[in-house]
């Protein structure tokens, strides 16, 4: 089970990588923090099996295919 502190640590790493790509000379450390968190909810309680609305038509101008979208689950 992933805990909120583990997620924050992952966000720290990702954010530092992004800043390094934008500005390679950036030498300070960026740290993510939680503010105004009044309540928390487990991801399992968010009903992840709910219906997902998919577009009926492709949004690319050169395509415009109808009902051609596929849903990709859990890319690793």
Phi-psi region of 64 (alpha: psi -120 to 50; beta: other; left: phi over 0): left
In terms of pLDDT, which residue wins out, 54 or 19? Answer: 19
Q: What is the pTM for the complete model shown?
A: 0.42
Q: Which residue has the tokens 């109808």?
A: 66
Q: At residue 48, does pLDDT exceed 70?
A: no
Percent of the chain with pLDDT over 90: 4
What's the pLDDT tens digit per position in 6-41?
Answer: 888 888 889 889 998 999 898 888 878 777 777 777
Three-state SS letters, the chain: CCCHHHHHHHHHHHHHHHHHHHCCCCCCCCCCCCCCCCCCCCHHHHCCCCCCCCCCECCCCCCCCECCCCCCCCCC
Report pLDDT for 21.
92
């Amino acid at each position: 089970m992933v805990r909120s502190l583990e997620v924050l640590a992952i966000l720290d790493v990702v954010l530092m990588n992004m800043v390094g790509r934008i500005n390679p000379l950036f030498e300070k450390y960026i740290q993510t923090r939680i503010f105004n968190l009044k309540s928390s909810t487990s991801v399992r309680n968010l009903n992840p099996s709910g219906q997902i609305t998919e577009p009926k038509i492709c949004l690319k101008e050169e395509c415009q295919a109808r009902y051609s979208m596929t849903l990709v689950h859990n890319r690793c």
